A and B are shown apart, each in its own frame.
Chain A
Amino acid sequence: MSIKRVCINLGLVLCLAGLIAWCVLTGKAYDIVLENTPTTVAGAEQPALEAVHVIIDKQEPVLMLEGDRIISTAIGVKHKIRIDVLDEDDKVLESRSHTYTIHDLGTPPTLNIPAVFAASKAEK
């Protein structure tokens, strides 16, 4: 087999490996536990939020009340979560967003909404 042919075959194998890696990294769906429960961040108590809309990537908003614990699905490794704090009339009081990778969340992947809210920046 000529060197040219070996190189072409090697290139094809690498392309295929790259394609597989892309499929797995961007297509794998993870179940994430979202919990709106009180927590402690760096010694400071973070109370549960009364009512929030949680939006992961471009998915439909999920309404979470104080003490709620639900399972959501996120596709891929890197995600952006947006938390909209709602008032009594379900109007958005404040929005904050946070970017995370699935590996930051531990096993099983869990996102504590008050902790994320405290750590994230307010959206303009």
Chain B
Amino acid sequence: MTKIKSLEDLKKMQAGLRKQIELREKGENPDAHTQIRVAMATCGIASGSKEVMDYLMEESEKRNLDVVVTQAGCMGYCHSEPTIEVTLPGEEPLTYGNVDKKKADEILEKHVKLGQLVDGIIPVTHKTIEEKK
């Protein structure tokens, strides 16, 4: 194994190794990052949510976006799969339906990067358990 010869070497090495723990670090403090949850139930997977999730993960990394992509269960919008839920830090979550790679690209570029809303938002009409209380 090669020896680390200087602080510069060490820092370079750290930069290379960061990726392997980034996922864990972000998870420790989820509210500080943009969170994207992809509905990955049977209906979602059948309509291509797995590909969308992979795309979101790869692209946000390529574009250097501070995003945590996680998978969720069925969100109930089976008519509009794949659905994803985007939560910017400190904001309310918004749900998008019929997300393909093109849509995902738009969401990353506009919503995540600039905070602009994109067409395709599914309005929330139901009440959550928290609200009932």
A binds B: no
